[in-house]
A and B are shown apart, each in its own frame.
Chain A
Amino acid sequence: MNESGIPTVSAPVDFAPKGRSPWRDARLRFQRNRAAVASVVVLMIIALACVFGPMLLPNAYDSVDWDLMSHPPTRANWHLFGTDELGRDLLVRTLIGGRVSLMVGALATLVSVSIGVVWGAVAGFAGGRVDSLMMRIVDMAYAVPYLLIAILVVTIFGRDILLVVAAIAAFSWLDMARVVRGQTLSIKSREYVEAARAIGVPTWRIIFQHVVPNLMGVVVIYTSILVPGVILTESVLSFLGLGVQEPMTSWGVLIHDGAAVMGASPWMILFPAGALSITLYCANFIGDGLRDALDPKER
């Protein structure tokens, strides 16, 4: 603006956007999907509650309320989800259990995605004998009965949360590796990969600079499918008594304990099972939204 109040044209404002990445387009499409956005919000609330809830609530996850044992939900002493048969507050235990379940889910997913992407991308890009060898290893790992191995591992090394993570990750990267390899095979034949070779980019750099970013759509989608699976697996292991050690707990453990007294005190299974179900629903909705947003056919 100059003194006369008329906007001058001599100093144009730069409205030009910074380059719009394909990721930004995907984000915009995702934001238009209401169910997915709502699921993100709900999941965030659950995660925040699990992280901060136990700090704000007066009860500890392992302290016993001698007056209120196996009590249904009540406002007394903040037992909003009731108490278990030892008089421990179920709300705090559900939140603490959520911490464990979500952490195991996140950690195991991270590990298996990392291994799966690298393994699949290298196998797919290298092709030939390297590819055959790497994928046969995957096939062999598939043939191993993982529950049996998990039981063995936990029996031998004791119950340790990191062991649970390792046991889950050791098997869940296999699918990721296969999916990534398939995708790499198709990306490998794209012209920009040939163009990269023609400008003298070394192979390892082509894989990580040019192939992996183009895999990310598929990886993100597949991860969103993987997360609920991993959380569920943790619950299965815990339900079988292979998860975390008492008094520490997880959703799977709580459901296991609640199932035993389901007839007399249904709240003991309803709340943790509800939390798990809602989380899994949200994860699946988010996965759905991501799939629509990143659909490779749209590109």
Chain B
Amino acid sequence: MSDAPATKVLEVKDLSVQFRTNDGAVYAVNHVDFELGRGQTLGIVGESGSGKSQTVLAMMGLLARNGSASGQVLHHGRNLLGLSPTALNAIRGDRIAMIFQDPMTSLNPYLTVERQMTEVLELHRGMGRRAARLRAIEALDAVKIPDARRRIDFYPHEFSGGMRQRVMIAMALLCEPELLIADEPTTALDATVQAQITVLLRELQRDFGTAILMITHDLGVVAGLCDDVMVMYGGRVMEHASADDIFHRPSHPYTRGLLAALPRLDDTSAKLVSIPGNPPNMNELPPGCPFSARCRYVQDRCVTTMPLLQRRDVASTALRACHRSVAELDAMEASDA
């Protein structure tokens, strides 16, 4: 992990999320800790159902009705969990903004882009319609929407997917938030547009000093954007380290599996690799490591006790949750090959 930031925008301590369902309680997120400084980017990586989306929804107070969160989400020392809806509304969209996975459905089809953007400014800045409109046009310019002055009066269906995601980003940045939460912002877009959006986010971060919390299952996006990466599986943090460490010195079997599953364009002989098995059923997690059922290096105690999230070694800031040491894994992997 990088050095402790001077100003912490967000500290998440021991965050857990559980849902009451007809099949009993489901523990979607368990004991997650992380912090985010000004201008930093943290990527949360994991497959579907790993709890990454629920982590941020809990932070924003957007959990479904049957969900509840425990722990602390500190925004400048103030715990967001348990704030009144009015107090939360004052922060959401203003200090902390969020963009969603599917730009096709996150804009209201019956309102012009102008109406949706000015609403944010009217709510948080008390701006008049005309001033808000000018500010909104600026924001659209900033995300490189050509001819923003005219396009702002369009309805969402008149924009392409990439354009709509730009609109979403412009909307999120209207109040110059300290923290931008991006829930799979590029998943619904095609590859070239993905790259444009990634570049755009990087530039905006540089210009505005916004901290970004990026949820994704696309490791390419992570490599392009993130300082730190948190790898989640089955609602638990498997590994939390700098992007450099994650890509060059992955220390957890799951992270290694994810990286091995990346298709390589430069290696034509390679066949597609996958991690055997299926994502875990959150109703029937083992008492130990949730990944144990699919792990190649599983041992008895993996199934029975959850490994603690610990430093990889004394010199490193990288955290990992695995009973096997890195040396052990390296040796076993070498003998496999």
Contacts and interface: CB of A to CB of B under 8 A. Distances in A.
Interface of A: 14, 16, 18-23, 127-128, 190-192, 194-203, 205, 209-210, 213-214, 216, 299
B85 A191 contact: no
A214 B110 CA distance: 6
Interface string B73-112: 0000000000001101111111001101110011111111
Contacts, number: 92
Contact of B109 (A127, A200, A202, A214): A214
Given A22-B155, A198-B98, A203-B85, A213 B120 contact: no
Contact of B150 (A16, A20, A196): A16
A207 to B, nearest CB: 13
A192 B120 CA distance: 14
How many chain B residues sit at the interface, stated as a range, is: 35 or more
Given A21-B110, A210-B111, A201 B153 contact: no
Given A21-B155, A195-B100, A210-B111, A127 B65 contact: yes
A4 B171 CA distance: 47
B333 interface: no
Interface string B201-234: 0000000000000000000000000000000000
Contacts of B88: 200
Q: Which secondary structure dominates chain A's binding surface?
A: helix
B109 A22 contact: yes
Interface in B144-160: 150, 153-155, 157-158
Nearest to B97: A199
6 contacts: A198-B100, A199-B92, A199-B119, A199-B120, A200-B89, A201-B119
A192 B108 contact: yes
B106 A192 contact: yes
Nearest to B114: A19
B319 interface: no
A21, A190, A200 — most chain B CB neighbours (10 Å):
A200
Contacts of A192: 105-109
A213 B115 CA distance: 13
Interface string B152-179: 0111011000000000100110000000
Contact of A199 (B65, B93, B158): B93
Most B-side CB within 10 Å, residue of A18, A190, A191, A202:
A191
A165 B153 CA distance: 41
A202 B93 CA distance: 12
Contact of B108 (A23, A200, A213): A213
A210 B123 CA distance: 14
A189 B106 CA distance: 11
Given A197-B62, A214-B109, A216-B110, A19 B102 contact: no
A214 B94 contact: no
Given A20-B155, A22-B155, A194-B62, A299 B120 contact: no
B88 to A, nearest CB: 7
B32 interface: no
B13 interface: no
Interface centre among B90, B108, B119, B150 (most CB of A within 10 A): B108
Contact of B92 (A16, A23, A200): A200
Given A18-B153, A200-B88, A200-B90, A195 B119 contact: no
B124 interface: yes
Contacts of A198: 60, 62, 92-93, 97-98, 100
